[in-house]
Amino acid sequence: MRDFAALYAELDGATGTADKVRAMVGYFQVASARDAAWATHILAGGKLARLVRSGDLREWLVAASGHPPWLVEETYAHVGDLAETITLMRSAAPAVDDDPLGLADWIEQRLLPLKGLLPAEQGALIRAWWLALPDGECFVLNKLLTGALRVGVSQRLLVRALAALSGLPRERVAHRLTGSFEPTAAAWQALIDPLADDAPAADQPYPFFLASPLEARPDTLGAAADWLLEWKWDGIRAQLIRRAGGVHLWSRGEERLGGRFPEIETAARALPEGCVLDGEILGWQSGAPLPFARLQTRIGRRKPGAKTLADCPVVFMAYDLLEVEGEDWRTRPLAERRARLEALLSGTEDKLRVSPAWYADDWATLAAQRAQSRERGVEGLMLKRLASPYRVGRARGDWWKWKIDPLTIDAVLVYAQPGHGRRANLYTDYTFALWDGERLVPVAKAYSGLDDAEINRLDRWIRAHTIERFGPVRSVEPVQVFELAFEGVQASGRHKSGVAVRFPRILRWRSDKPAAEADHLGALKALAG
């Protein structure tokens, strides 16, 4: 645990990606295979199953620290992170860790067995650990217990470190790491062994190729004839795998989707063995995509019932072929992959479709196509170079997102609450409202779009102009106006405003505009149809 806590501290304090990669390589070079496997699992975003309740942790902190419950709650509200709050408030701890257990032993011998204990038994053990561990190790322990161990390491950075350690190409490391990496010594050795078999397991997806946003004019990309154009669908990016007699669905976030879309899995059984498709799961009805809000009703249901299936029918809109007859096709040009995909899906059920594509000799024609996006329920166009292979991650140059301009509103700031991690002491999470007659109705929450100077200035203003406090939340004088951008808006019975906006974010602080001139709720509802 000591070595992993030191790595966590080094990663948390590093500002450059090269420093983070160097720190991970240094850790993996000396860690045991079991410790390295668990560290890889955690850094890749893996979590332990919920072992204890956060409410119990706060109760045990009251007992361990001798502080009254109100002080623990106030401190937690101020700090914004339970793991840090516990580390700060527990009783005095040793400066040096004398516990010889490594990360794997801590997890397997101590943390995982907590699941089978009563809360009183859990509390006795955890309080003892709090008293025995120095600050760094105690902090990481609490992060593991709360499931909130985020340290600014992306999957891409982890792959860079593992590639540097093993000498393998990043693409091979990324492929080996994609899917269900088991935190075992054997899995770790296979991950970094140059001679290990790279044949995918029956249910293993490939690393996703991600498009970059197109911020320049499309004609800067060269001849329009070199590109394939598709709609930018607003669904769930997924890979559909047909191997070894089974069907598997994986989301872009490497989450198994098995059982949630049974109609797609049933249709996929008509595909030949050794086949992997890349595409989008869409709510689909009457020949058009359904709003993403409708699709959300299906995401959390592992075994959807008949009513759910009927309320939001779905299709798999395929736009790439990664494997066919057990052969990896990713290095072949898109034009070849696309032709084979169209032949493969001709005659399949309508639950498996090929995403429509366009080809043109001039960008003006394609721009006219893009102008139809919003009325068709899509986000714009995808631009894909016909000669491109299927790459790994966000490799720039071959795939671009040519999205339509976002919808915007001018809204009034009404609530604010602290952020998390390094921004736990700043008010960075905001709630915005629109006018409905003479009252303001909250319509959106946003926390991105301001730079550091603006965040600090707004934080000072919020503290000086608070009207009421509700725990960590403050209501503020309704005078500050902000322009918000969002991708779409739908009618919603779950929201007080009657509408739900998709991906709201702050475009700019409208200090030039009085609150009375902010937009009205009716205008937003009109956009929802």
Q: For the residues 267-277, what does the mean pLDDT come to? A: 93
Percent helix, percent strand, percent coil in the chain, to nearest 5: 40, 25, 35
Of 97-101, 123-127, 199-203, 399-403, the poorest mean pLDDT is in: 97-101
Q: For the residues 134-157, what does the mean pLDDT come to? A: 84
pLDDT value at 474 more than 80: yes
Interval 19-35: pLDDT, tens: 999 999 999 999 999 99
pLDDT-based confidence at 235, cuts 50/70/90? Answer: very high
pLDDT, residue 177, reads 86
pLDDT value at 77 more than 90: no
pLDDT, residue 32, reads 94
d(CA 524, CA 515): 17
pLDDT, residue 321, reads 97
In a 13 Å sphere around the CA of 279, the CA atoms on its Cβ side amount to 25
- Put residue 343 in one of left, alpha, beta given phi > 0 → left and psi -120 to 50 → alpha: alpha
Q: For the residues 503-525, what does the mean pLDDT come to? A: 90
pTM: 0.77
CA angle 93, 111, 137 (to 5 degrees): 30
More confident residue, 526 or 336: 336
pLDDT value at 98 more than 80: no
CB 40 within 8 A of CB 191: yes
pLDDT-based confidence at 13, cuts 50/70/90? Answer: confident
pLDDT-based confidence at 422, cuts 50/70/90? Answer: low
pLDDT, residue 501, reads 86
What domains does the chain contain, in order, with CATH numbers? 2-146 (1.10.3260.10), 212-403 (3.30.470.30), 407-527 (2.40.50.140)
pLDDT value at 421 more than 70: no
How far apart are the two ends of the chain, measured CA to CA in Å?
A: 55
pLDDT value at 148 more than 80: no
Mean pLDDT taken over the chain: 89
In a 13 Å sphere around the CA of 340, the CA atoms on its Cβ side amount to 20
Q: In what order do the strands lie in the sheet with 212-213?
A: 212-213, 399-403, 380-385, 227-231, 357-358
Q: For the residues 121-145, what does the mean pLDDT come to? A: 91
Interval 152-208: pLDDT, tens: 788 889 999 999 999 999 888 888 888 778 899 999 999 999 888 777 888 899 999
d(CA 88, CA 101): 23
pLDDT-based confidence at 129, cuts 50/70/90? Answer: very high
pLDDT, residue 146, reads 83
Residues with Cβ within 8 Å of residue 478, at least 6 apart in sequence? 412, 413, 414, 433, 440, 515
pLDDT, residue 349, reads 67
What is the share, in percent, of the chain residues with pLDDT greater than 90?
A: 52
Q: List residues with catalytic annotation.
A: 232
Q: For the residues 492-521, what does the mean pLDDT come to? A: 87
d(CA 214, CA 216): 6
In angstroms, the Cα distances linking 50 to 54, 182, 354, 433 are 10, 18, 40, 35
d(CA 170, CA 163): 5
pLDDT, residue 151, reads 74
pLDDT-based confidence at 426, cuts 50/70/90? Answer: confident
pLDDT value at 300 more than 80: no
Q: For the residues 239-259, what does the mean pLDDT come to? A: 91
Of 115-129, 196-210, 430-444, 456-470, the poorest mean pLDDT is in: 196-210
pLDDT, residue 254, reads 82
Q: For the residues 78-85, what does the mean pLDDT come to? A: 80
